[in-house]
Chains A and B, each alone.
Chain A
């Protein structure tokens, strides 16, 4: 059965810390891996990764995919309280997205 596993489930840090969120997957017909940020509303798109080893970067956030080892990481540097959210990893299999349970990040001042 296809599955996406995220770790850790929860993370509490102070502002300025750097965090690494993990996502591993076992999915047939892999097409891409996506990261979303979810606050108390709908998930908002962060990155889509399709190729191994190519880092995607947006401000303090970056992500990379390893298709051989079947995992991805999301890095957030110099965290801010506004980064507090659930970060969802999803893998595209044919046309639908298969989501992990998310990592809940709390950033305290």
Chain B
């Protein structure tokens, strides 16, 4: 399967603990995005990378959240001191960068469902 993969698929943690999620994009996709989705809502943008550079961060991404893509391939999203409000599905997507000004479709992974008790 050459699609976007995410691990773990489910994570249950206690409030105050740190968690880390991993995303492996489609091979050779330059861009990688993180979104958060809560029940009954559409995904909300968190941040994105072009290769290893983090180009944009949403104001939703508080200081407790950090994302990295050190070698321009897989990415990690860490949440420190989790709160119950962090419970959500965390989605990763990737897209190729073909040429300037042309937007490409984003392909989503299966998501990591986080439950904070």
Contacts and interface: CB of A to CB of B under 8 A. Distances in A.
B108 A101 contact: no
Most chain A CB inside 10 Å of its own CB: which residue of B33, B43, B48:
B43
Q: How large is the interface on A (under 10, 10 to 19, 20 to 34, 35 or more residues)?
A: 20 to 34
A44 B33 contact: no
B84 to A, nearest CB: 22
A34 B104 CA distance: 10
A44 B108 CA distance: 7
B92 to A, nearest CB: 9
Interface string B37-48: 000111111001
Given A41-B111, A42-B111, A95-B48, A31 B42 contact: no
Interface in A33-62: 34, 36, 41-45, 48, 50
Contacts of A99: 42-44
Interface string A79-109: 0000000001010101111111110000000
B106 interface: yes
A75 interface: no
B1 interface: no
Interface residues of B, number: 23
Contacts of A22: none
Secondary structure of the A side of the interface? strand
Given A42-B91, A95-B48, A96-B48, A101 B41 contact: yes
A42 B89 CA distance: 9
B61 to A, nearest CB: 12
Interface of B: 4, 31, 33, 35, 40-45, 48, 55-56, 58, 91, 103, 105-111
14 contacts: A41-B111, A42-B91, A42-B108, A42-B110, A43-B91, A48-B105, A90-B42, A90-B43, A95-B31, A96-B48, A96-B56, A96-B58, A97-B33, A101-B40
Interface of A: 4, 31-32, 34, 36, 41-45, 48, 50, 88, 90, 92, 94-102
